[in-house]
């Protein structure tokens, strides 16, 4: 058992998730590298100290440079807002330290490209956790294995309703492209689409702010957006994103239709995958509700019983396992910064398309 010192920048929503994941991952996956919670960083020392105590880190700091430079911090997790990602990653790579960065990779496509450049020869990883559920990993495998034939149609959405109530005031979420619906929610499902079906070559988008005025001021970024697209393999697609979709709490959902069958999934019931295959007799044909279990990727380490179910936190534990493994083997694990950047590229293309109201080639962005 070799220890590795982990430094996490940010102790909020995702900082905590990664701290918990790093505490549990060794026992869950019997990893070669065993994380030691070395240092946590936040905007001020008081909150950093609070996170340290709560999550069990050895030390706290309020300047990410301190953390990055610290010799006992051997791997870095960026769980701070999108605008901070690039500078931190560049500094860490300069010291040859592995970096896991929360989505979206950069606050802009430019940032992401710079981050990919900096990551050359380094261990990098981007935080797309939803594609890591046993169900979605299995869906990916089914598609790759041809279980539903050639994909002809993909529909994906990432919809939530945390901003659906028009009477909510404008917070920091209401400003900055990177915090809008396209910047913040779209990356998960764009990554999902790329993982499940392959590269997107062209698209035509619409993006809008539904609630332009909130009590307390204007909203300057987007509430919902959609695009039609073509995948490299010829499949037709559609993606929709919303933070104002009443009733949707974790609407990461997709349907994939192939020439031989179809798959359906909704993250709100994350332990079920629906599979239809045409080669059953007509009378007994139907979508099969498959409950995840030890027969599916990365499930067994959490529980020996099928249908017992994994949850949100477990996705982050799976990411932690992958990051540790990449470090231990010096072989990058999908999705790397490059994969994170490709997502930013699609989103940049969508924003451009929405402005010109026309189809756009992703390669041109």
Ligand X SMILES: NC(=O)C1=CN([C@@H]2O[C@H](COP(=O)(O)OP(=O)(O)OC[C@H]3O[C@@H](n4cnc5c(N)ncnc54)[C@H](O)[C@@H]3O)[C@@H](O)[C@H]2O)C=CC1
Are the C-beta atoms of 214 and 168 separated by less than 8 Å?
Answer: yes
Are the C-beta atoms of 99 and 123 separated by less than 8 Å?
Answer: yes
Least distance (Å) between residue 305 CB and ligand X: 7
Answer for which of 63, 110, 213, 268 binds its own copies (CB under 8 A) is 268
Q: In whole angstroms, what is the distance from residue 194 CA to residue 196 CA?
A: 6
Span near its own copies by CB under 8 A; candidates 114-122, 289-297, 335-343, 344-352: 289-297
Q: In whole angstroms, what is the distance from residue 143 CA to residue 192 CA?
A: 13
When the beta carbons of 52 and 86 are compared against its own copies, the nearer one is: 52
Give the position of tokens 């490299």. 232
Binding partner of 204, given ligand X, its own copies, none, CB within 5-8 angstroms per partner class: its own copies
Q: In whole angstroms, what is the distance from residue 355 CA to residue 365 CA?
A: 13
Burial track 89-114 (b if 16+ CB lie within 10 A, e otherwise)? bbbbbeeebbbbbbbbbbbbbebbbb
220 Cα distance to chain centroid: 24
Binding partner of 65, given ligand X, its own copies, none, CB within 5-8 angstroms per partner class: none
Binding partner of 80, given ligand X, its own copies, none, CB within 5-8 angstroms per partner class: ligand X
When the beta carbons of 237 and 335 are compared against ligand X, the nearer one is: 335
Largest separation between any pair of C-alpha atoms in the chain: 66
Answer for which of 269, 328, 333, 352 binds its own copies (CB under 8 A) is 269
Question: For residues 41-70, which are near its own copies according to CB under 8 A?
Answer: 53-56
When the beta carbons of 90 and 293 are compared against its own copies, the nearer one is: 293
When the beta carbons of 114 and 147 are compared against its own copies, the nearer one is: 147
Instruction: Write phi, then psi, for 240 (nearest 5 degrees).
Output: -135, 140
Q: In whole angstroms, what is the distance from residue 238 CA to residue 226 CA?
A: 7
84 Cα distance to chain centroid: 17
Q: Which residues pair with 34 in a beta bridge?
A: 3
Q: How many residues in the shown chain lie near its own copies by CB under 8 A? A: 96
Span near its own copies by CB under 8 A; candidates 177-185, 213-221, 251-259, 343-351: 251-259
Least distance (Å) between residue 284 CB and ligand X: 25
Assess whether the previous peptide bond of 104 is cis (omega < 30° from 0).
Answer: yes
When the beta carbons of 98 and 106 are compared against ligand X, the nearer one is: 106
Is 285 a residue that touches its own copies (CB under 8 A)? yes
Answer for which of 120, 171, 233, 304 binds its own copies (CB under 8 A) is 304
Answer for which of 97, 188, 296, 321 binds its own copies (CB under 8 A) is 296
* Binding residues for ligand X (CB under 6 A): 9-15, 41-43, 47, 64, 79-82, 84, 102-103, 127, 129, 184
Beta strands 59-61 and 124-127 are: unpaired
């Amino acid at each position: 058992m070799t220890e590795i010192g982990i430094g996490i920048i940010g102790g909020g929503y995702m900082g905590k998730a990664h701290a918990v994941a790093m505490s549990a991952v060794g026992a869950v996956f019997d990893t070669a590298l065993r994380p030691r919670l070395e240092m946590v960083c936040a905007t001020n020392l008081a909150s950093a100290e609070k996170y340290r105590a709560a999550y069990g880190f050895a030390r706290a700091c309020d300047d990410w440079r301190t953390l990055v430079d610290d010799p006992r911090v051997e791997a870095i997790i960026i769980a701070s807002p999108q605008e901070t990602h690039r500078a931190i990653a560049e500094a860490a790579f300069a010291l040859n330290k592995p970096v896991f960065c929360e989505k979206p990779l950069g606050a802009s496509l430019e940032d992401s490209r710079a981050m990919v450049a900096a990551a050359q020869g380094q261990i990098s990883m981007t935080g797309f956790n939803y594609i890591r559920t046993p169900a979605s990993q299995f869906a990916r495998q089914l598609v790759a294995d041809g279980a539903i034939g050639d994909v002809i149609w993909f529909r994906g959405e990432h919809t939530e309703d945390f901003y659906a109530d028009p009477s909510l005031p404008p917070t920091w979420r209401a400003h900055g492209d990177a915090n809008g619906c396209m910047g913040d929610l779209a990356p998960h499902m764009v990554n999902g689409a790329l993982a499940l079906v392959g590269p997107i070559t062209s698209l035509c988008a619409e993006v809008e702010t539904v609630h332009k005025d909130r009590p307390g001021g204007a909203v300057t970024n987007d509430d919902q957006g959609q695009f039609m697209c073509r995948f490299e393999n010829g499949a037709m697609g559609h993606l929709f994103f919303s933070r104002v979709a009443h009733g949707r709490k974790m609407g990461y959902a997709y349907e994939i239709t192939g020439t031989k069958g179809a798959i359906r999934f909704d993250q709100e019931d994350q332990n079920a995958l629906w599979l239809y295959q045409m080669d059953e007799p007509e009378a007994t044909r139907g979508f099969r509700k498959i409950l995840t279990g030890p027969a599916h990727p990365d499930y067994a380490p959490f529980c020996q019983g099928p249908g017992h179910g994994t949850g949100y936190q477990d996705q982050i534990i799976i990411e932690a396992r992958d990051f540790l493994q990449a470090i231990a083997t010096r072989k990058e694990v999908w999705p790397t910064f490059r994969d994170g950047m490709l997502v930013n590229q699609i989103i940049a293309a969508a924003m451009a398309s929405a402005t010109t109201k026309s189809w756009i080639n992703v390669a041109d962005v």
